[in-house]
Amino acid sequence: MKLVNDAKKAVRLVMKAARSRATHQTTVKALRAQGPLEKNRFRIAVYFADDDVNMYQIRQWYGPLAELSKTHPVVVLSRKVTGAGAILKDGVLPVAYVRRVAQLEKFLDAQDIRIVLYVNQNTRNFQMFRYGERWHVFINHGESDKMYMTTNQFKAYDYALIAGQAARDRLSRTLWDYDLDRRTIAIGRPQADHYSGELPYTPDGRTVVLYTPTWEGDRPAAAYGSIATHGEQLVKALLADSAYRLIYRPHPRSGVVDAAYGSAHHRIVHAIKAANHADPSAQHVYDDGPEVGWQIAAADVAISDISAMIYDRLATGKPLIVTRPVNPAASVDEGGYLGACEWLSADEARDVRAHVTRVLEDPETTARIAHWSQHYFGDTSPGAPTARFHDAIEQLLAKWDEWNERRAA
């Protein structure tokens, strides 16, 4: 048995190495097609040290960053070959593939980078922090009340661009000796100005329900995922009723830690396929595509786990239901919206249709959504978040000029 297992492991390693070589070759070809980056063209960079499994973290920034590039060209500093390849394939932003520190330093010597933006807390961010005379700015990959949003790692950055008052309140409760007024700038949710993607179905009067579960998490405090506890029951109920159309968009990491969680996900995908086969007019959607936004805007009701998707939806002001984690160790901050949201317990999942009807028809629910949308994001009128994002960048560039003048003096 040991020999068999060792042989299987060896085969997996060989296949992994072959995929890695193929990915490297593809990325090198894409970099050649992109051509050399013009010297001293960029003053703003996005540092992305992840591989392609976490592309969702940077993809949601494509719209705002592409718009910003019209005024201040933006480049992505990618440290992993799969991440660089995926960004190059998307074709939205130019990429500098800087796997080694020496390559990173060569790039910095050729460019006048004044602001470095970070979309996550990858440990390799620390390698970039060694380079001073520029602002290191955390922009995150969403707004939520997860424990991730109050990590002490915020202090490692010169500044953080946050969504609004709720973020300020959350950080002030958690971080010791952190100057919020000086080191944070509220910008709302500029992604909401750039929702993209065409509807993969024809609207026909069905109530569209978006179910966006997160992954299972890598520790009990972050066990927010509902696929195995709520998902199969609520999906079964919605697929059984011709009045509903389901859009199922799970977190791309679903099942990476817990195989049983991944199996539940695959059963849901199979159920959606079977329902569409039985009734092609249903047009239920399993969505694992790169575009995010059309789902959030199009759905009549959204059902989300505790994740940034809650707050993306909250910014639209439309009905929302939140799954309550089953694990008692899951960290739930009810000091904000989660203290007033519409919860769905695992026991209630099979009765999800009644909950959907209630949030659609209850005026008090609508009023609560409007209140909390303002609290988390401020002015959500079209164009307002983008204007605040651009203003924040201009503030930081002006501060760079100020400090550069001090150094020269």
Burial class (CB in 10 A: 0-12, 13-18, 19+), 346: middle
Are 156 and 231 found together in one domain? Answer: no
The string of pLDDT tens digits covering residues 275-293 is 999 999 999 999 998 788 8
Are 185 and 392 a contacting pair, CB within 8 Å? yes
Quick check: is 7 in a domain? no
Which tokens sit at 343? 């919860």
Residue 17: pLDDT over 60: no
Query: Is 196 a member of any domain?
Result: no
Give the span between the Cα atoms of 375 and 91, in whole angstroms: 35
Last residue of a domain, one of 156, 188, 220: 188
Coil, helix or strand at residue 121: coil
Angle at 216 between CA 215 and CA 220, to 5 degrees: 140
Give the amino acid at 195.
Y
Do 216 and 183 lie in one domain? The reply is no
pTM: 0.79
Asked, for residue 110, whether it belongs to a domain, the answer is yes
Which pLDDT band, with edges at 50, 70 and 90, does 403 fall under? very high
Q: Which residues constitute the domain of residue 119?
A: 35-188
Same domain, 213 and 247: yes
CATH number at residue 265: 3.40.50.2000
Domain-embedded: residue 90? yes
Tokens of 187: 């910008």
Residue 197 lies in a domain: no
Q: Are residues 173 and 48 in the same domain?
A: yes
pLDDT band at 61 (very low <50, low <70, confident <90, very high): very high
Percent of the chain whose pLDDT exceeds 90: 80
The CATH number covering residue 122 comes to 3.40.50.11720
* Whether residue 148 is found in the same domain as residue 226: no
**Burial of 34 from C-beta contacts in 10 A (0-12 / 13-18 / 19+):** middle
Banded pLDDT at 59 (limits 50, 70, 90): very high
C-alpha 355 chain-centroid distance: 26
Q: Return mean pLDDT, the chain.
A: 92
**Structural domain contains residue 30:** no
Residue 168: inside a domain: yes
Cα–Cα separations (whole angstroms), residue 193 to 60, 63, 293, 312 = 11, 8, 9, 11
Token pair recorded at residue 197? 């993607």
Give yes or no: residues 170 and 215 share one domain: no
Distance CA 146, CA 337 (A): 12
* Residue 199, in any domain of the structure: no
In the predicted structure, residue 37 carries a pLDDT above the cut 90: yes
Residue 341 DSSP one-character state: S
CA 363, 368, 374, 377 torsion-angle sign: negative
Angle subtended at Cα 340 by Cα 336 and Cα 345, rounded to the nearest 5 degrees: 115
Residues 265, 342, single domain; the answer is yes
Averaged pLDDT, 238-259:
95
Q: What are the tens digits of pLDDT across the range 161-187?
A: 999 999 999 999 999 999 999 999 999
What pLDDT score does 20 carry? 67
pLDDT level of residue 316 (50, 70, 90 thresholds)? confident
Alpha-carbon 289 to chain mean position: 13
Measured distance CA(27)–CA(56) in Å, rounded: 19
Measured between alpha carbons, how far is 46 from 157 in angstroms, rounded to an integer?
A: 14
Q: Do residues 301 and 215 share a domain?
A: yes
For the chain, the domain total comes to 2
| Same domain as 139, residue 64 | yes
pLDDT at 49 over 80: yes
pLDDT score of 15 more than 60: no
Shared domain check, 184 and 127: yes
Beta-bridged to residue 322, according to DSSP, are 304, 343
Q: Is the domain of 164 the same as that of 88?
A: yes
Are residues 277 and 350 located together in one domain of the fold?
yes
